[in-house]
Chain A
Amino acid sequence: MADTIDVDGKEFAVDEEGYLANLNDWVPGVATVMAKQDNLELSQDHWDIINFLREYYEEYQIAPAVRVLTKAVGKKLGAEKGNSKYLYSLFPYGPAKQACRFAGLPKPTGCV
């Protein structure tokens, strides 16, 4: 994994696992570039999740618990989307890890 990523000609430092080194650096282009590296193209569905993660982090300084996330998604986008399967269909490496990385959040640590 490179130590920087290039977003519209600007360099952003990332750690060895590809997470943004300085969370305040984040711009939407970071998510687009990281997604491209993972062979994903971001749709509005992805952005809904990324934006929710950023809002929650802003308030609580941590990514939302999976259940908090699925519930919020279910309320906003309909019950059929309020589950982990839907989130994994968007983020195959897992909402907690991959979506957080795109959103510029630190990696959740521990037994998760």
Chain B
Amino acid sequence: MAKATFKVPVLSQYPEVPAITPGSMAHSTPFQAKPEFQAALGFPGELVENWQERAIEKMGELLTRYRSLRVYLDACVKCGACTDKCHYFLGTQDPKNMPVGRQDLMRKVYRRYFTVAGRLFPKLVGAEDLTKEVLDEWYSYYHQCSQCRRCSVFCPYGIDTAEISMAAREIMDSIGVGQKYCNEIIGKVYTVGNNLGLPGPALVNTLEGLEEDVFDDTGVHVRYPIDQVGAEVLFVTPSADFFAEPHVDGLIGYGKVMHESGLSWTFSTMASEAANFGLFIGSYENMRRVALRIREAAIQLKVKRIIFGECGHAWRVGYGFLNSLAGPWDFLDPRYPVPQHICEFTWDLIQQGRLTLDKSQNDDKVLTFHDSCNVARASRMGDEAGGQFEIPRAIIRATCNHFYDMDEETIRDRTFCCGGGGGLLTDDLMELRVKGAKPRMEALNNVIQEKGVTHMAAICAICKTQFSKVLPFYGMEMDQIISLHQLVSNAIVLTPREDDDDGDEGAQSRAENADEPD
């Protein structure tokens, strides 16, 4: 494990609201995007000359475009309900990480330029000019918000700090101040097709390797097809699922579920990424451009349905905005939602009795479940309220004998962010990530102590990576975080097919059939 160059918080048995330490995270600032990363997204390469004027102009544009932003900036009555709800405040004690503190960074500028009182008597109403110092503060603290929306659950007016953070990042991008992590990644989606920059041949090589592994492991030929024209289902998943651990174990599980469903399915090199970082930087144009790849792939591959893998914010974009960003989807089968979540799909099969599951295969584990913020608070699953909470848990109960929830105050719609969401999953923000994980680590540690929990399952690539990196800082093991579909993968009893006797013909025949309709 990497050594900590900062003080790792000590976990306590009960949540404690810390005393404030002003400025404790003022030094936290992510690397800025280089001019070439900015250009690819349609943003100026570096801070433009008349940046102040342009930023105010952009703010005015966003206030008109998103009425919610103006309402949020106007509505706060400083009641204090949000002050102890942000994981970054609880982990860092910096009052600017209180949701209201973070909102006020924009609110003071809004008041100065967009309200009568602020124009005339700025000091009386806490209005401030947009100076370089204020801009630097924005860059620091709007990259200390994971846009998880927990604060909005507790705000009596429903003020959504995530939307304010997104607007702030959009304003900064428009004057040439972008964040390296997000903007470099979006550029890779445009040039290569996914966040990681995995080219087609590397994807094919990786998937062929998985087919061999699963065959060696189970004796059943499970296919992981890619670019298969005429397949029934286009499967869109975060590229980390191909690349990282524990993500890939979930991807192996998706393939096994698809195998049992009997449907033909395919990944796509063009849409080899479910993530849409356009959301994190508040850029509708980039979010749309990223989303349109999925449409293009669906048309080219002539699929009838789209299923999304385990990715938190992708599901927010998929569930909430895919139709307006990239619809209409009238060429797909209208009997199924567009897109469908793999958890909905798996749960449907379980309910229909079409999956044979041997729960004892997971008897070496005692599970808990981490609700990912974008799934929990910005979307739904299935056709009943709260489906996004119940369906993943139902799948765990169907595949495992031992499951315990964490403290109610820290799950479902009150779930704590993993600490790495919203475009903050980068090494240059490791201190913030470790400290921001504290509330979740505390709740996890409590069920480890009290219930003997050994593993936490999640349905988001960011959560999985974040936990595998921060768990060791808190004295836990990196492999205690697992993919939900890894549990399905372990428990599922596969149905053999006719060709399972002949060694590696599977990969070969898959390659030969790649361009033929199913």
Binding site for B on A (CB under 8 A): 16-17, 59-62, 64-68, 71, 84, 88, 92-94, 96-97, 106, 108-112
Judging by beta carbons under 8 Å apart, are A62 and B199 in contact? Answer: yes
Q: Do A112 and B465 touch across chains, with their CB atoms under 8 A apart? A: yes
20 new A-B pairs (CB below 8 Å) besides A62-B202, A71-B209? A60-B199, A61-B202, A64-B206, A65-B206, A65-B243, A66-B244, A66-B245, A67-B245, A67-B248, A84-B479, A93-B2, A94-B2, A108-B196, A109-B188, A109-B197, A111-B244, A111-B311, A112-B196, A112-B244, A112-B465
Q: How far is the CB of B245 from chain A (nearest CB, A)?
A: 5
By a CB distance below 8 angstroms, the chain B residues around A84 are 245, 479
Residues in B whose Cβ lies below 8 Å from that of A106: 197
Q: Given A17-B31, A66-B244, A97-B427, decide whether A111 and B206 contact each other with a Cβ distance below 8 A.
A: no
Offer 18 A-B interface pairs, CB within 8 angstroms, sorted by A.
Answer: A60-B201, A62-B197, A64-B206, A65-B206, A66-B245, A67-B209, A68-B206, A71-B209, A88-B1, A93-B2, A109-B181, A109-B188, A109-B196, A110-B197, A110-B243, A111-B425, A111-B461, A112-B243
Binding site for A on B (CB under 8 A): 1-2, 31, 181, 184-185, 188, 194-199, 201-202, 205-206, 209-210, 213, 238-240, 242-245, 247-248, 275, 311, 425, 427-428, 461-462, 464-465, 478-479
Residue ID in chain B nearest A98 by CB atoms: B2
- If the complex has contacts A62-B197, A71-B209, A96-B244, are A111 and B275 also in contact, measured as CB distance less than 8 A? yes
Task: Give which listed residue, B245, B275, B464, B479, contacts A110 with CB less than 8 A.
Answer: B275
Q: Is the CB of B184 within 8 A of A109?
A: yes
Residues of B within 8 A of A111 (CB): 195, 238-240, 244, 247, 275, 311, 425, 461-462, 464-465
The 10 closest A-B pairs by CB, nearest first: A110-B195, A111-B461, A60-B202, A111-B240, A110-B196, A112-B244, A65-B243, A62-B202, A65-B206, A111-B462
List of A residues within 8 angstroms of B185 by Cβ: 109-110
Q: Find A62's partner among B181, B196, B245, B461 (CB 8 Å cutoff).
A: B196
Contact of B244 among A17, A62, A65, A88 (CB under 8 A): A65
Complex CA–CA separation, A67 to B198 (angstroms): 14
Q: A65-B243, A66-B248 are in contact. Are A110 and B194 (CB under 8 A)?
A: yes
A60 touching B205 by the CB < 8 A rule? yes
Q: How far is the CB of A76 from chain B (nearest CB, A)?
A: 15
Of A68, A92, A96, A110, the residue contacting B205 (CB under 8 A) is: A68
Q: Total A-B residue pairs with C-beta atoms closer than 8 Å?
A: 92
CA distance A84 to B465 in the complex (A): 14
Which chain A residue lies CB-closest to B188?
Answer: A109
Taking the nearest CB of chain B, how far is it from the CB of A95, in angstroms? 10
Interfacial chain A residues near B199, Cβ < 8 Å? 60-62
For residue A16, which residues in chain B have a CB less than 8 angstroms away from its CB?
31
Report whether B239 and A17 are in contact in the complex, using a CB–CB cutoff of 8 Å.
no
Q: Are A67 and B205 in contact (CB under 8 A)?
A: no
Give bound CA distance, A60 to B192, whole Å: 12
Q: Report yes or no: A65 in contact with B248, Cβ–Cβ below 8 A.
A: yes
Residues of chain A within 8 A of B184, CB atoms compared: 109
User: In the docked arrangement, what's the CA distance between A68 and B427, Å?
Assistant: 23
Interface core residue of A67, A68, A110 (most chain B CB under 10 Å): A110
Greatest chain A CB density within 10 A among B185, B195, B201, B202 is at B202
Which residues from chain B contact A68 at a C-beta distance below 8 Å? 205-206, 209
Residues from chain A with Cβ under 8 Å of B181 in the complex: 109
When distances are taken between beta carbons in the complex, the residues of chain A under 8 Å from B425 are 111
Which residues of A are found within 8 Å of B202, using beta-carbon distances? 60-62, 64-65
**Chain B residue with Cβ nearest A38:** B2
- Measured between C-beta atoms, what is the minimum distance from A38 to chain B in Å? 10
Given the interface pairs A67-B213, A111-B465, the reply to whether A92 lies near B245 with Cβ below 8 Å is: no
Q: How far is the CB of A23 from chain B (nearest CB, A)?
A: 13
Distance from A75 Cβ to chain B, minimum over Cβ atoms (Å): 11
Known: A16-B31, A66-B244. A110 touches B2 (CB 8 A): no
- With the chains together, A78 CA to B168 CA distance in Å? 52
- With beta carbons under 8 angstroms apart, the residue of B243, B427, B461, B479 that contacts A17 is B427
Q: Please, which residue of chain A has its CB at the minimum distance from the CB of B240?
A: A111
